[in-house]
Amino acid sequence: MTGNQQPRPEQARNATEFVALLRELKDKSGLSYRQLEERAERRGEVLARSTIADGLRRSAVPRADVVAPFVRACGAGDAEVTAWLAVRERLAALPEPARANGTDGSHSPGLTLTQASAPPAMRSRHLLGHRPTRWWLGAAGLALTLGLTALAWALWPGKERETAAGAGPLPGGWVEIRPVGAPGQCLTEGREQSGRFTAAIAVQRPCAHAEPPRTRLRSTDAAGVYYIEWDHPAHGRGCLTLLDSGPAATMLEPWDDCSGARATQRFHIEPAEQPTGSYRIQSTATGGCLALGDETPTQGTEAVVGSCSDATAQLFLITPANARQDR
């Protein structure tokens, strides 16, 4: 990739400008998120399209292990990749105020700051070197992933830990999330039915066969807002994350990196008026409501987030996992 028309990373004075230049690089490449992911995969690199989309929406300094495969996938050569990484390291080393919206005075002004920097919860994840990964990782990376995940959970602030048993109207501990229209079905792991998206997503299956993974709700610092957390014996812990692009857009994918900075992982859960004991689950990212198909969803139906309505498909029962009689 040559020529003066390409974005120059050295123009970036702060994280926001750096991410803006990465967005410009993608735009000039003409490639979709899926195409970038496939290009990286052909090189033996991991660059999930959901990671790209999430990173380009924010204004935190991206990790080096995201920047390098992303820039290469956009068509850059080794020298250009080195230049991007050098700027990335310079910005990451700045004090937080300068990193967010200032300038280190080493070069001429660039783009204008438009967003705030990532909050402390996300910065701690950069220090750990942790990154969102899919649950279908190969065995070679599994041990490292689980180790980093356990460390990240140990360091998270107490205000974001799991819901205490009996706190509020929702049950603590392991739960089942069941559609009112099909109370024998549970929200659990499955696959997108068309086959266009191969990673794990949230679907409904008979509750008797819904584990693993186990499900629980973990409270956030906002009243009534929760992470929907899965715990899998092979893949560890992860949070359901709303996807906003690609063949699985509006569906939920489990990521092992749960972050307070991601509205796509936070859901407002509130009691519905009818029927008694039912709830609505609303994304804080889009304001849309979680639903499972039509009024009587069938096995394998994907969970999707769409416009909120009074439809039964958007109503759920949330009960302790050991409450059913067939256990």
- Could you read off the pLDDT of 208-238 as tens digits, one per residue? 988 889 999 999 888 899 999 999 888 888 8
- What is the C-alpha separation between 260 and 155, in angstroms, rounded? 13
The confidence score (pLDDT) of residue 327 equals 44
pLDDT band at 102 (very low <50, low <70, confident <90, very high): low
Assess whether pLDDT exceeds 50 at residue 155: no
The confidence score (pLDDT) of residue 143 equals 43
40/94 same-domain check: yes
The confidence score (pLDDT) of residue 239 equals 93
64/154 same-domain check: no
Buried/exposed code over 72-85 (b: 16+ C-beta within 10 A; e: otherwise): bbbbbeeebbebbe
The confidence score (pLDDT) of residue 65 equals 87
The confidence score (pLDDT) of residue 19 equals 93
CA-to-CA separations, 106 to 29, 88, 94, 102, in angstroms, rounded: 28, 14, 12, 12
Which of the pair, 251 or 6, is modelled with greater confidence? 251
The confidence score (pLDDT) of residue 316 equals 95
84/190 same-domain check: no
Q: Residue 37 is part of which domain span?
A: 9-118
167/286 same-domain check: yes
* Domain containing residue 258: CATH number: 2.80.10.50
Q: For residue 129, is it within any domain?
A: no
- What is the C-alpha separation between 47 and 71, in angstroms, rounded? 11
The confidence score (pLDDT) of residue 134 equals 54
pLDDT band at 55 (very low <50, low <70, confident <90, very high): confident
Q: For residue 302, is it within any domain?
A: yes
Which of the pair, 151 or 116, is modelled with greater confidence? 151
pLDDT band at 281 (very low <50, low <70, confident <90, very high): very high
298/150 same-domain check: yes
The count of domains in the chain is 2
The confidence score (pLDDT) of residue 133 equals 53
Q: How far apart are the first and last CA of the chain?
A: 60
79/154 same-domain check: no
315/217 same-domain check: yes
Domain boundary among 75, 102, 118: 118
Are residues 213 and 237 in contact, defined by beta-carbon separation less than 8 angstroms? no
Assess whether pLDDT exceeds 90 at residue 167: no
The confidence score (pLDDT) of residue 112 equals 26
pLDDT digits over 181-196, tens only?
999 999 999 998 888 8
pLDDT band at 5 (very low <50, low <70, confident <90, very high): confident
The confidence score (pLDDT) of residue 228 equals 96
The confidence score (pLDDT) of residue 266 equals 93
151/270 same-domain check: yes
Are residues 302 and 288 in contact, defined by beta-carbon separation less than 8 angstroms? no
Domain boundary among 51, 84, 118: 118
82/180 same-domain check: no
252/310 same-domain check: yes
The confidence score (pLDDT) of residue 98 equals 55
**Residue 224: which residues within 8 A CB-CB, separation 6 or more?**
168, 268, 269, 270
Helix axes 33-42, 64-73, angle to 10 degrees: 100
The confidence score (pLDDT) of residue 144 equals 42
- Return the DSSP state at 207: G
Share of the chain above pLDDT 90, in %: 40
- What is the C-alpha separation between 277 and 195, in angstroms, rounded? 35
Q: For residue 3, is it within any domain?
A: no
The confidence score (pLDDT) of residue 234 equals 83
Assess whether pLDDT exceeds 90 at residue 303: yes
Question: In the numeric block, which tokens belong to residue 93?
Answer: 């080393």
Most confidently modeled range among 2-6, 12-16, 234-238? 12-16
158/238 same-domain check: yes
pLDDT band at 151 (very low <50, low <70, confident <90, very high): very low
pLDDT digits over 266-275, tens only?
999 999 988 8
pLDDT digits over 113-141, tens only?
223 333 333 322 222 233 355 554 433 34
Classified as helix, coil or strand, 220 is: coil
Strands 236-242 and 225-232: antiparallel
Q: For residue 71, is it within any domain?
A: yes
Share of the chain above pLDDT 70, in %: 72
pLDDT band at 2 (very low <50, low <70, confident <90, very high): very low
pLDDT band at 152 (very low <50, low <70, confident <90, very high): very low
